[in-house]
Amino acid sequence: MAAPFQNYSGGVLLADIVKRNNLSTYVSEAILERSLFVKSGIIARNSLLDAAAGGTRIQVPEFNPIAPTEEIMDGTATWGTSTAGYLTPQKIGTGTQIATICHRGFAYAVDDVAVLAAGEDPMLHIRNQLADAINKLKSTRLFCQLSGLFASTLAANSLDVGVAAASGGAEANFLTGSTIARARNLLGERGDELDTLVVHPSVGFYLYQVGLLTFSTSALAASGSVVWGGGGVGVGARSIGEFAGCRVVIDPQVNVVAPGTGGHQREFYCYLTKSGTILEGVQQELRIEADRNILSKQDVLSVDYHTAYHVMGTKWNSNSDNPTNSTLATSGNWAATYNIDLIPIVQLTVNSPLDTSTI
């Protein structure tokens, strides 16, 4: 007869699966492997933003871009801005970029009755989907932060070609090569540094559609009109890898513009950025813990992570930290540390013919 309160050493518990097999490490690696933002270079991990020693925010001292004052040398005794016949030493400005640390977590519990009813282990499915779910949550937080930055601080780095009318929208309102060129022009000569484009699927698959269109004509003659045709055979990749000189990242978490009530057509944000412009700091690596509640007959899984996103050249301008996503999206909580045309990121607002639904 088995001992009534014995815990057999050979039994496998949920905690064994999580801890002994290093589930946290596996999920962390899967997050990096599946994150399009990391793979494309949009987000770069930077140890300068890590805060393992503690704190609620990260301060990163940085040197502002130099803007020297040119002096005229004419050989007199009073040349130069000093009016004393010598070059006046100038200094480089400094500032402090601030990133706020966001503490996030969630938990799941599965009881034995649910397992019996389902005939399968729900916790297994939860574990298999953790990496994708965390990437989705982190993307949502990043887009909230970008929304707050472009609401005021980076407003001059934005271009809106969309239309909010209940109907309408033409090529001029869609994402095109012309639109990309206009967006690059907002940064002057530095617009050439923008190498990655982040778009909503409704915008991304419009680019896919355009790539499949062919020119057609009713008559092979000088007078025959040339029009767009949809009769292409569809030769090409199934995804949009590049467009207008940019790597394309498609993410459904990209913010959709809600212009108001009354049946306005949806608009979509797109982001043009230079690789490495967005940095990520980590105060504590992803932690996954599991336990068994013998009274409720439940397996419990707990997840938490403590990170910060930072756009170079900006700072968190609020006295509070650990903001909610809605607080991150609040314009007054952000400021720039130097001229914004030196910050290589641009926001575009466009329509898509693949999504003409109204709000």
In order, the DSSP letters of 322-334 are S--HHHHT-GGGE
Mean pLDDT comparison of 12-16, 81-85, 239-243, 329-333, highest-scoring range: 329-333
- pLDDT, position 50: 87
Q: Which residues of 173-190 are buried (b: 16+ CB within 10 A; e: fewer)?
A: bbbbeebbeebbebbeee
Tokens representing 34 are 């599946």
Q: 38-92, pLDDT tens digit by residue?
A: 888 888 888 888 888 888 998 876 777 778 889 999 989 999 888 999 999 988 7
Question: Can you count the helices (H) and strands (E) in the chain?
Answer: 9, 17
Which domains, ranges and CATH numbers included, belong to the chain? 14-63+95-217+235-350 (3.90.1690)
Instruction: Kindly indicate the confidence band of residue 7, based on its pLDDT and cuts at 50, 70 and 90.
Output: low
- pLDDT, position 320: 94
Q: Does the pLDDT value for residue 334 go beyond 90?
A: yes
- pLDDT, position 237: 56
- pLDDT, position 253: 87
Instruction: Kindly indicate the confidence band of residue 272, based on its pLDDT and cuts at 50, 70 and 90.
Output: very high
Q: Does the pLDDT value for residue 182 go beyond 80?
A: yes
Q: What does pTM read for this prediction?
A: 0.80
Q: Does the pLDDT value for residue 176 go beyond 60?
A: yes
- Cα gap 334→327, rounded to integer Å: 10
- pLDDT, position 21: 46
In 101-189, the DSSP E strands lie at 102-111, 158-160
Q: 106-160, pLDDT tens digit by residue?
A: 999 999 988 888 788 888 888 889 989 999 999 999 999 999 999 999 999 999 9
- Compute the average pLDDT of residues 232-246: 68
- pLDDT, position 13: 55
Q: What is the mean pLDDT of the chain?
A: 83
Q: Does the pLDDT value for residue 195 go beyond 60?
A: yes
- pLDDT, position 261: 53
- Cα gap 92→67, rounded to integer Å: 8
- Cα gap 20→12, rounded to integer Å: 11
More confident site: 349 or 94: 349
